[in-house]
Amino acid sequence: MQIARYTAYGGPETVALEDAPIPTPGQGELLIRVRAAPVTAGDARMRSGRVPRGLSLMVRLAIGWSRPRVAPGWAFAGEVAALGPGVTGFTQGQRVFGLKGFKGGAHAEYLTIPATGPVLSLPDTLSFEQGAAFFFGGLTAAEFLIDRARLAPGERLLVAGATGSVGSAAVQIARHVGAEVAATASPANHPLARQLGATEVTDYRSGPPQGPFDVILDVMGSLGWSRAQPLLTPQGRLVLITADLSEMLASALRRRRFITGTNKDDLPSMRRLVDLHRAGGYTPVIGPTLPFAQLAQAHRIAESFHKPGNLIVTMG
């Protein structure tokens, strides 16, 4: 089988595809034949080592000093190819989707994962591509809007950067919650933002839209506290999905109104997102789709931070 490997911190050319033996599932493990996997903003950041200011040291301590010592690929969708000893609750051929997490390994034609780990049955309503796209933006948007900002029905939300992976999930989930959604996007993506449920769409290059907002979800951190605060109601909350170290420290002083951090990717969060999908509140947007052999090109697109929806590689 083919697997991906990072050879160094650097450009997309540092992603190499190489041959490897198909792994054997151990006790309690599933062998998955991967059909599709996302190439996320997180994958691009791991590969390049380019992270918001002040966080580089922490990231290199976590994933490798001189090169990323993690495997490429955070999430996957595919089929159960074999069951390791002692596995219950899954059958051979079952469609599944799940997460390899930050240690990675989903950019491969086969992978193993504990059957009790972050892997779930793929609903019939989702294709392999949609399954691959499902968790990255969806988990982030659901946790920050529902749990952290406590977005309520009737509130007015601005999603700044509304059509990428996180933004496209946020617009849908907010509409499902019953919020009114304004969005910013580049002009080519305005139809997509409206289709997702935004009622007011403007170009972020011509400045922020008219406030006040109860919640602002600033996907790329392009507004920051100083530009967002005048657009908020007195009880309004700013969520910075992309925040540097100084913003993270500053948010600790205004906990309720200024929200930063990272989201959870555990089984309860994954199940909650599946429930949201079943209730009609979220279906991931599929953007560019490339064959696995073009993984380096997919990284090139991912690190532009201007892709519509989710970028997928397919393993055939």
Ligand X SMILES: NC(=O)c1ccc[n+]([C@@H]2O[C@H](COP(=O)([O-])OP(=O)(O)OC[C@H]3O[C@@H](n4cnc5c(N)ncnc54)[C@H](OP(=O)(O)O)[C@@H]3O)[C@@H](O)[C@H]2O)c1
Residues of this chain that interact with ligand X (CB under 6 A) are 40-42, 45, 137, 140, 160-161, 163-167, 184-186, 189, 204, 219-220, 222, 241-242, 262-263, 305-307
CB 73 within 8 A of CB 98: no
First-to-final CA distance of the chain: 12
Tokens 């950041």 locate to 45
Closest CB to ligand X among 32 and 166?
Answer: 166
CB 219 within 8 A of CB 167: yes
Cβ of residue 161: shortest distance to ligand X, in angstroms?
3
Cβ of residue 139: shortest distance to ligand X, in angstroms?
8
Closest CB to ligand X among 83 and 216?
Answer: 216
Cβ of residue 263: shortest distance to ligand X, in angstroms?
4
Cβ of residue 44: shortest distance to ligand X, in angstroms?
8
Closest CB to ligand X among 80 and 231?
Answer: 231
Cβ of residue 237: shortest distance to ligand X, in angstroms?
15
Cβ of residue 163: shortest distance to ligand X, in angstroms?
4
Q: Which two tokens stand for residue 144?
A: 């920050």
Residue sitting closest to ligand X (CB):
164
Closest CB to ligand X among 90 and 102?
Answer: 102
Question: 314 in helix, strand or coil?
Answer: strand
Q: Which two tokens stand for residue 138?
A: 């969806």
SS3 track for 62-118:
HHCCCCCCCCCCCEEEEEEEEECCCCCCCCCCCEEEEECCCCCCCCECEEEEECCCC
Closest CB to ligand X among 42 and 105?
Answer: 42
Query: How far apart (Å, rounded) are the C-alpha atoms in residues 176 and 155?
Result: 12
Query: How far apart (Å, rounded) are the C-alpha atoms in residues 3 and 14?
Result: 14
Closest CB to ligand X among 30 and 285?
Answer: 285
